[in-house]
Amino acid sequence: MKNTLLFISLLILVTACQQTPKQQSMSIKTENLTSYVNPMIGTSKMGHVFPGATVPFGMVQVSPQTNVEPLLKPDGSYNPATYEYCAGYQHKDTTIIGFAHTNFSGTGHSDLGDVLLMPTTGPLVLEPLPTKDKDKGFYSRFSHDTEHAEPGYYKVDLDSYDIKAELTATTRAGFHQYTFPKSDQAHIILDMVYNIYHYDDKNVWTFIRVENDSLITGYRQTHGWARTRTVYFAIQFSKPFKSYGHQKYDDIKYNGFYRRFDETKNFPEMAGQNIRAYFDFDTAEGEQIKVKTGLSSVSTSGALNNLQTEIPHWNFNQTKAQAKAAWNSELSKIKVQTLTESDKITFYTALYHTCLSPIVYQDIDGQYKGLDQNTHQADGFTNYSIFSLWDTYRALHPLFNLIQPERNNDMIKSMLAHHDQSVHHMLPVWSHYANENWCMIGYHAVSVIADAMAKQVGDFDRERALQAAVNTAGVRYFDGLGDYIDYHYVPDDKSHSSVSKTLEYAYNDWCIAEMAKQLEDRKTEDHFRSRSTYYKNVYDPNIGFMRPKRADGSFKPDFDPMDTHGQGFIEGNAWNYGLYIPQNIPQMIDMMGGKERFENQLDQLFTMAIDDKYIEKHEDITRDGI
């Protein structure tokens, strides 16, 4: 195993760092690496991965949604089942309710699911699932036997309607190809009610315009994980629709003089919180209706420009081939030789997943919505969003510095733009779609920046980056940071996850010290070097573990180092999270009793039996979850 890992590591270094663009181009022609990617891996249980079509770092992820699982139960309590649908898809399901254009991959919370399209035939139905009156929903049955997913392409037979649905994508647009049976009751439904992590008031407002008999535009603003997220769209049909309409699911409080019209049928403006629209067609046997959907964070004109620029034709196979070529280009940056094809599929599927986020978050002309909700122009960089930094600073961004240095440079410039637009003057913590959602702990953008500086990646402004890092580390009202500055640890009786925060902040501060050292700013370096040692203040030598400490200086009583709830750690415990001192591993070993004792503790960590009571409340790692 060690030899295999070493061989792979050497291949990564040689191929990724030494191969010229011409050599990469030649290798793309000789091997189709997309054949080793299985997008279905991770779509079961708590994998939270979508199988649909996207391109590397694409803003559009057009993918099947298999159920409607609301965030809340009827009594207002949390619905645990919604967690299974973070990516909108569960492999166990046998139904599809439509194809949405935005999806997270691999997250532990969720949002998105925008602009859902569903082709149907027969009497018009506008509810996705069966109603209380047993009326059928517009969902379709499907079988995995007729489902196929590969990078940049997805297809499935919608058995309830005898429709074949195919999907592909560009960076800012989705491309659908629906093959219909003969029908004088063919429909394409636009469901603007549907959300991932839906609750009754999540939709703030929805607006749809019918521009002509084959083009519609609109937007939706939602209040979810992102508090004020707006997605603009433009949808173009390859065939004119013969009629259209919509149903509104609002309690109308004011309707002005629109009562003069029958808005429900063939009226070219649709507005409300919750809307489902439909577009009717006559179809011949085997007739294909193609649908192109462009997205934008700025405007409907931006969405239309993105669509018309990236897909100026109706050749579905051409767009599919371009998506495949884009994926082969990215996958070819690392070449591996494995003993089995299964290992190769595992590797390239994992590499594929690294290219699903962050995403490009700007129109083709460089405009994007910023954190301040104003429109900005990306000048000299491509703007990115979805920075899940607590999850990605450890491995994903360091990998990007090796195989995606240009993109990581742009990502750092995007983080600096985020800082400049932030009323808090902070780098992103966990940001998506022009919003900061404040998920998880630490200020790990500084780690991404420090790693790039250490590896001499990018042309971003180092002085500006250091100032942004210092500003971020000084926001006292952020998540126990003021107490960390005052007490030199985060007190457990003042803030949850206090030990994890202390350890993460100390590492972040070491990163800032390293940035300052490179820029020869001795004062800043010394200040943050001192702060980077604060981890010592939550170590209890009497028990040999990191342990929550209260504001009065006493350690938390009744402490269980195995427990992950209420013990000062987040998504971990004292056994694993307590070893988090990457900035000074030799000192950690000495502090914990020396090399022999430390080795024994590591051996125990990896070999001890764990009682289910310690994992039964963790959705990702319960017996059912894995």
Neighbouring-strand partners of residue 288: 179
Q: What is the pTM of this model?
A: 0.94
Q: How far apart are CA 118 and CA 361, in angstroms?
A: 26
Determine the average pLDDT of the residues in 419-434.
Answer: 99
Mean pLDDT computed over every residue of the chain: 94
| 31-330: CATH architecture | Distorted Sandwich (2.70)
Question: What distance in Å separates the CA atoms of residue 231 and residue 298, rounded to the nearest whole number?
Answer: 8
Which residues, in sequence order, are bridge partners of residue 576? none
| pLDDT value at residue 575 | 97
Which of the residue ranges 197-201, 323-327, 518-522 would you say has the lowest mean pLDDT?
A: 197-201
Report percent pLDDT > 70 for the chain: 94
Helices (H) and strands (E) in the chain, counts: 15, 26
Angle at 135 between CA 133 and CA 136, to 5 degrees: 150
| pLDDT tens for each residue of 222-272 | 999 999 999 999 999 999 999 999 999 998 777 778 778 889 999 999 999
- State residue 1's pLDDT score: 40
> How far is the CA of 28 from the CAs of 320, 355, 498, in angstroms?
16, 17, 49
- Amino acid at site 318: Q
| CATH match for 341-356+384-614 among 1.20.1610.10, 3.60.20.10, 3.90.1570.10, 2.30.30.240 | 1.20.1610.10
Q: 3 pLDDT exceeds 60? A: no
SS3 273: coil
Strand partners, 493: none
pLDDT value for 20: 52
Window from 130-134, 213-217, 261-265, 502-506 with minimum mean pLDDT: 130-134
> With 70 as the cut, is the pLDDT of residue 340 above it?
yes
Q: What is the mean pLDDT of residues 571-584?
A: 97
E strands of 249-404, at which residues?
A: 269-272, 275-283, 288-296, 359-360, 367-369, 375-377, 384-385, 387-388
The predicted pLDDT at position 505 comes to 99
194 and 70 in contact (C-beta within 8 Å)?
no
513-569 pLDDT tens trace = 999 999 999 999 999 999 999 999 999 999 999 999 999 999 999 999 999 999 999
Phi, psi of 386 (to 5 degrees): 65, 80
pLDDT of residue 211: 99
The Cα–Cα gap between 158 and 558 comes to 56
Helix (H, G, I), strand (E, B) or coil at 264: coil
Residue 9: pLDDT over 70:
no
pLDDT at 13: 46
439-456 per-position pLDDT tens digit: 999 999 999 999 999 999
Which pLDDT belongs to residue 29?
A: 54
User: What is the mean pLDDT of the segment spanning 263-291?
Assistant: 97
> Looking at residue 488, what is its pLDDT?
99
The per-residue pLDDT for 254 is: 76
Q: What is the pLDDT of residue 133?
A: 65
Among residues 308, 116, 70, which one has the least CA distance to residue 231? Answer: 116
Q: Is the pLDDT of residue 6 over 80?
A: no
User: What is the pLDDT at residue 251?
Assistant: 83
pLDDT surpassing 70 at residue 23: no
CATH 1.20.1610.10, the chain: domain bounds: 341-356+384-614
Query: Residue with structure tokens 């592909």?
Result: 168
Reply yes or no on whether the pLDDT at 17 is more than 70. no
As a whole-number percent, the residues of the chain with pLDDT over 90 amount to 88
pLDDT reported for residue 18: 44
d(CA 376, CA 357): 21
Judged against a pLDDT cut of 50, whether residue 136 lies above it is answered with yes
Block residue for tokens 């490179």: 518
